[in-house]
Each structure stands twice: as structure tokens, then as C-alpha cells.
Amino acid sequence: MNKISIVVEKNMNAGQKANVAAIIMGQISKDSPCLYGDLVRDQSGTLHAGIAVNTVVLDGGREQLLSLISGTENCDVSCIVFSSTGQSLSNNYPEYQKQISSMDTRSTNIVGVGISGDDITVRGLTKKFSLTK
């Protein structure tokens, strides 16, 4: 069984957290299309998302985010991050690509980390984080 945990910087406001989580989830789903099944239609005809993998959004501090990234290095999980550098370059992908590729991870100022993989492994990596508020 698989799981996705997205850990966002706890001091951001709710809108920023939602934005970071959506960006990370979008990238994870692009790289792993099996995360979604077919749309599900209810009795009224409304379409519902067909998410097939348990997903949670958690809060963490900046140093905890960096530690989480390091903790994934020897695990069989996917780790995708987003940074305040990315937030500041809205709709300017060429500049984003240029800046991120010329910086180390810490310098990008990570604001979100997405981990996907085996349920037990992902839970082990993220057990110290709390559900986001």
C-alpha cells in the first residue's frame, strides 16, 4: 500500500500551505499517474476525484523540512520539494529553472516536502509531524 505525505512550513498561512501542497501534489501525480483512478460519478451526476493513494498534509519547521529531505536519501521513496524561491517566481518557469539549478537546497528556502512511497516507510519518515492547521 502506498502513501503520500506533504509537509509544509508551519508558519505559513493556510492559503500558502494549500498552494504549496497543491504544487507538490501536482508534481507527484504527474510523475506517478497511478495515484488517481477514474473519476467517480455520484447519484446526482457530479464527478468526484478518483484518488487511489492515502494523502495527508502535515506541518513542520524549516530545519525539520531539511532533515526530512536528508532522511529520504537512503529510502526507497520519492521526495519532491518546493521553495520560497519558487513562490517568488510566479509564472516565470525559465527564471525559476535558472535560479533553482544554481542554488543548493538550503539556499532555496524549502517551504514544502512531498514524500511518496510505501505506507510504512512514509509513516516512519513523517511520524514526528502534526496535521496541518
Give dist(CA 44, CA 28) in Å, integer.
Answer: 30
pLDDT, position 91: 87
Residue pLDDT, tens place only, 55-75: 999 999 999 999 999 999 999
Give yes or no for residue 48 having a pLDDT over 70: yes
Domains, the chain, in order of start with CATH, read 2-128 (3.40.1490.10)
pLDDT tens by residue, 91-103: 899 999 999 999 9
Give 74-85 pLDDT, tens digit per residue: 999 999 999 999
Asked whether the beta carbons of 57 and 8 are under 8 A apart, the reply is yes
pTM above 0.85, yes or no: yes
- Using one digit for the tens of pLDDT, what is the confidence trace for 112-131? 999 999 999 999 999 999 99
For the chain, percent of residues with pLDDT exceeding 90: 86
Query: What's the mean pLDDT when you consider all of the chain?
Result: 94
- Give just the sign of the alpha carbon dihedral 88, 90, 95, 96: positive
Tell me how far apart the alpha carbons of residues 110 and 37 are, in angstroms, rounded to a whole number.
30
Cell numbers linked to 108: 532555496
Cα separation of 95 and 119, whole Å? Answer: 36
pLDDT at site 1: 64
